[in-house]
Structure 1
Amino acid sequence: MAGSTFGTLFTITTWGESHGPALGVVVDGCPAGIPLTSDYIQTFLDRRKPGQSKFTTARKESDSVEILSGVFEGYTTGTPISLIVRNTDQRSHDYSKIKDCYRPGHADYTFDQKYGVRDYRGGGRTSGRETIGRVAGGAIACRILEALGIHLTTYTKAIGPFSIPSDAYDYSAINENRLYMPNQKYAEQASAYLESCIREQDSSGGLIECMIHGMPSGIGEPVFNKLDAALAKAVMSIGAVKGVEIGDGFSVVSSKGSKNNDSFFAENGQISKLTNHSGGILGGLSDGSTILLRAAIKPTPSISQPQKTVNTNGENIKIEISGRHDPVIVPRAVVVVESMAAVTLVDLLMQNMSSRIEYMKQVYLGI
């Protein structure tokens, strides 16, 4: 299968299936000397693991990570880092009734059309559990970004119809509720809404927002590999994401140039912007201000309501999906969006090292 590796200089290759023995990732291109422990990576995986609340799947997985290579005495060695998370609570029999059906909203049909064979147990490689490798790799990327003074803040902006206005954010509340929303009042409203979805055997979508602080200007490429294009590709590669916005995003449709343009000003020798409608990216390059990215997450496709579909024989049937499924994917996807953004940034920062001869002189000649 092609397409399981992401990145150019800093790469992650994820592997494994939802109901296989394990999942994991191989991270290559990580510099030596980065402090790294399994406990640090585990803090990221704990944000996406199942069973956090009644709004996530009841599958009991600790998602405990093991470092198999690339780390010695608490520091990266510059060699490939291999990470593994073992599956311990598979219930493959939950899927036996639908092994010959194409579930609405899933990749069953398209996967079958491409390969002619598929692992029907939880979707195999198309399962949300594939993101374990992304998050583990993203934790390493975040460690590198920390060393460069770059930090990401990611949270749930909206669930269903409940969207937090930007002037009502309370970032201290993000980790105080299981929905990772920066406003406790909206988190309570969204929770009540999700309760109604559960009663109706339905699911909800939502919006994730990621802020990137401390990015230097000039990172990215001005043509095909623009920073915003690279971020969009990375985030759109997450299974449940159906749309990506940068800055004002789709609201620019109703804007005007006089409003949408960010005016520059100089102070103490530093150039800054009065506004940030661009979301920190101009011409495909970072402009030194906060990068603002949003990802639209679709409702969980596995619902218990009767749905029309077809089986592998081409017969029209109805199915009701049983098993353990999230009524909303959004809270667990927050750290996945953050991880893919972090991997993208590290890769482009590395590529930027060769954009000027001065940078190479600083590294190799110390001038």
Structure 2
Amino acid sequence: MEYTQLGRTGLKVGRLVLGTMNFGPQTTEADSHTIMDAALDAGVNFFDTANAYGWGENKGRTEEIIGSWFAGGGDRRDKVVLGTKVYADMTADGNPWPNHDRLSALNIRRSVDASLRRLGTDRIDIYQFHHIDRNTPVEEIWQAVDTLIQQGKILYAGSSNFPGWKIAQTNEIARQRGSYGLVSEQCLYNLFERRAEMEVIPAAREYGLGVIPWSPLHGGLLGGVLKKEAQGGRRGAGMAAERLAAPGVRDQIQSYETLLDKHGLAPGEVALAWLLTRPGVTGPIVGPRTAEQLAGALRALELELSEELLASLDEIFPGTGPSPEAFAW
């Protein structure tokens, strides 16, 4: 496993990030533990979760599953770079009182303590803002974060789903306060969805943030959906089905799958390997439901994509290009 530095931190992480959003809702606790064991054995040492994972009445369940895995011993906690997130309404009835969601200082402090209890640990390595909060001053957010860092409850702060301007604003205010600032950004980024290249990734690179793409297969669209449909007689489901129904998308995906079939390559593995060639990317988040899916994702680390193949992928999925060049007449 190749390791890289996470943004401007001293943390070394593998080139894939284990996303745990399926632990609980779709994957049993025992199977989740098996996946985490296999990931760590393979050198995947960055585990990403969120306080809301588990969803619905089971919000927080995913953190509890990770916590029970940590409790198994073997220095597991010390071997893992652990990231979780704050923003969601965590009240049982889904009807929050004021300051029980988003990024108020009060909710940040409450949420950290609750996540630490569920995770069974004394610290969160990367505490991430799941979304922007337009109603809370950035100064207030950093005041809460700085206090938690001083208390040893978190090491660093990261962002998720932030536009480029918000990354800049948040880090400039951190600089004014003498705070450390954001160290990572989780963004929607894959072969099909490349808008992050215009503003988000340039901003992240300018401020020294590690980029951690989520949905690298775009909800299964890039995972060989048409071939699976033909073999199993089933149409794509969820996001993949919605995307395939859009004008031109089915032809685009067919071109993608045909190209990779000629090279004898698996679409899902190529989609992950392509992200690993992108400047600024630390590692994509993979969210396996089974150990077999994790093994497939790990094979992407062994792929070396030729310049010819990369150029062909750009033809099928042309990027928007960074600004301001992309707006040139």
TM-score of the superposed pair, with normalisation by structure 1: 0.24
Which structure has the highest strand share of the two? 1
Which structure has the highest helix share of the two? 2
Higher Rg: 1
RCO comparison, higher one (Cα < 8 Å, 6+): 1
